[in-house]
Amino acid sequence: MSKVKKKRLGFVMDMTPLVDITFLLLTFFMFTAKFKSESESQQKFTIKRPASTADTTKLPEKDLVMIKIGIDTVKHDTSWYLSMVNETDVVNLANEMVKLEYPSADMRTAQFKINDTNWLGKAIERARIVNPKAMFAIDADKRIRYWWIDKAINEMRKKRATSFNFVTDKRK
Amino acid sequence: MAGGGEALGGGGKQKRGSSGKRKGKKRIGFRMDMTPLVDITFLLLTFFMLTTSMITPQTMEMNVPPEIDVPVEVRQSELFTIRIRDNGDVFYNSGKDEPEKVKSLKDLLKIVVDQNVNLKNRCIVTLKTADNAPYGIAVEVLDVLNQAEPLIIDGLKRNGINERKRKFTVSPFTADDHKELDAL
C-alpha cells in the first residue's frame, strides 16, 4: 500500500525540546566557564607542567600564593613570577610591594616578575603577611633547571613556609 | 521554516488589529518561530564549549623542615638516597653503598618499597637533585615516591605494622655528591 509521498514545502518542526536541551547545556557551560584572572592576562609565557599520576588533590581556588617559574616566550629568560589568588590579597600585596619600592611595581600589578632571590624572599614574606593562611604552590615548567626550584624552596623555608605544593598535570 | 514564519506574521496582524477594541480570544497552543533562538543558543553553546577547559591542575604536596632546625642524627644504614645528576640520570644507594643507576622509574618504585618494608618504618628516603637537572625529572621521581606510599603501607601491614611514620624529604645536592657520582 505504498502511496506516492507528496513533497511537503515548508513544514513546521517542533523545536521546543531542542531549545530545552541547548539552553540546559548552555547554562551548564556558562557556569562552569572560568575566565583568565588578572595575573594570568599579564603573563607572557605558558607553562608546560610536568606530569604525575592521577591523584585526588586539586589546587585550592582561594588562599593561594602562586610562584610560577616560566620561560618568557619573547626574551627566552627564566624568572620567578609571584602572584596571589584572592582579590583583596592581590591589592594588598601590590601596595606592600610599592611600599618596598620594588622596581616596575605599581598598584595594579597582579604578578611580580622577580629575578633575584633577595627580592623573592621579600615578596614571599609580604605575601605571608598579607594572608597568613595562604598556601604556597610552585607552578614550574618541566624544562627549567632544578636550581630555580631549589632557590624558591630555600626562600620559603626561611620565611617558615614549609608546606607547599607542586602543580602538575594528570598523566594521560 | 517558511510556514512557521507565515503563521507568526498572521498571528501578529490579527492581534494588532483586535487590540483595544475587542478582547482577544485566548489562543490555546500558538506557535512561535524558534529558529533564531536556536541559532543564537547554539552559537553561544559552541563558544562556551570550546573555551572551557575541564582539566584542572593537580598538586603534589611537599613538606620541608624549617630553616632553624637541629640536624637530626640518622643512622647510615637507614638512609636511602636518591640522586639526580645534571644530565637527568637517577642514582640510588642505601647507606654507604655504591650508587647504582636506575634503569627505569618502575624499578625505582620496587626498590623504594622493598627498602621501606625491609627496614620496617625506619628507612629515611631523601631526594637530592643537582642544580642543572631538569625539574620534570625531579617531579617524576617525587611521583614515584608518592606512588610508593600505599604500597609501603600495604607491605608494612603484612608484616604486622599498622602505622606509617616516615616519609621522604628533599635535601640539597652538595659538591661531595657531584664528586661521588662523577667518579662512577
Mean pLDDT, to the nearest integer, of B85-99? 82
Examine residue B95 and state whether it is found in any structural domain, yes or no.
yes
Whether B161 maps to a domain, the answer reads yes
- Judge: B41–A19 Cβ closer than 8 Å, yes or no: yes
Low-confidence residues in chain A, pLDDT < 70: 1-7, 38-39, 54, 56, 172
Q: Among B153, B150, B173, which Cα is nearest to B162's?
A: B153
The domain ranges of chain A are: 38-170
Q: Which amino acid is at A75?
A: K
Task: Check whether residue B89 and residue B173 sit in a common domain.
Answer: yes
| Structural domain count of chain B | 2
Instruction: Give the pLDDT band (50/70/90) at residue B74.
Output: confident
Q: What is the mean pLDDT of residues B172-176?
A: 79
Place of cell 541547548: A22
Q: Is the pLDDT of residue B57 over 80?
A: no
A148 neighbourhood in chain B, CB within 8 Å? 135
Please state which of the ranges A128-137, B44-53, B57-66, B147-156 shows the lowest mean pLDDT: B57-66
Say what the pLDDT of residue B120 is. 75
CATH code (residue B174)? 3.30.420
Has residue B68 been placed in a domain? no
Cα B156 off chain centre by: 26
Q: Are residues B83 and B159 in the same domain?
A: yes
Give the residue numbers spanning the domain of B6: 2-17+29-51
Residue B25: predicted pLDDT: 65
**B35–A157 CB contact, under 8 Å:** no
User: Are residues B47 and B82 part of one domain?
Assistant: no
Residue B49 belongs to what H/E stretch? Answer: helix B35-51
B22 within domain boundaries: no
Same domain, yes or no, for B134 and B46? no
Q: How far is A159 from chain B (nearest CA, A)?
A: 9
| Candidate from A11, A29, A146 with C-beta closest to B3 | A11
B44 located within any domain: yes
Query: In this model, does residue B20 exceed pLDDT 60?
Result: no
Give the mutation candidate from B126, B139, B140 for the A interface (greatest A CB count, under 10 A). B139
Are B135 and A58 within 8 A, CB to CB?
Answer: no
Residues of A within 8 A of B43 (CB-CB) are: none
Chain-chain contact of A10 with B134 (C-beta, under 8 angstroms):
no
Domain assignment of residue B162, yes or no: yes
Residue of B58, B83, B86 for testing the chain A interface, max A β-carbons within 10 Å: B58
Q: Give domain status of residue B160, yes or no.
A: yes
Q: Which residues pair with A84 in a beta bridge?
A: A65
Please tell me the distance from the alpha carbon of residue B110 to that of residue B151, in angstroms, as a whole number. Answer: 9
Structure confidence by residue, pLDDT tens digits, A34-81: 777 766 777 777 788 888 886 767 778 788 888 888 888 777 788 888
Q: How much is the pLDDT for B17?
A: 47
* Three cell numbers written together for A140: 614550574
**B60 chain-A contacts, CB cut-off 8 A:** 52, 55, 57, 165-168
Q: For residue range B117-159, list pLDDT tens digits in order.
A: 887 777 788 888 888 888 888 888 888 888 888 888 888 888 8
pLDDT of residue B9: 42
How far is the C-alpha of B45 from the C-alpha of B24, rounded, in Å? 37
Strand intervals (E) in A64-122: 64-71, 78-84, 111-114
Give the integer Cα–Cα distance in Å for A64 and B108: 33
**Res. B43: pLDDT tops 90:** yes
Own/partner contacts of B42-45, CB < 8 Å, gap of 24 or more, are B42/A22, B44/A26, B44/A30, B45/A22, B45/A25, B45/A26, B45/A29
Per-residue pLDDT, A24: 93
Q: Which of A103, A80, A106 is nearest to A93 (CA)?
A: A106
DSSP secondary structure string, B82-143? Answer: EEE-TTS-EEEEETTSPPEE-S-HHHHHHHHHHHHHHTTT--EEEEEE-TTSBHHHHHHHHH
One-letter amino acid for residue A24 of the chain: L
- Mean pLDDT for the stretch of residues B99-109: 82
How much is the ipTM here?
A: 0.73
Q: Which residue from B55, B61, B64 is facing A157, i.e. has the nearest CB?
A: B64
Write out the three cell numbers for A4: 506516492
Do B43 and B134 belong together in one domain? no
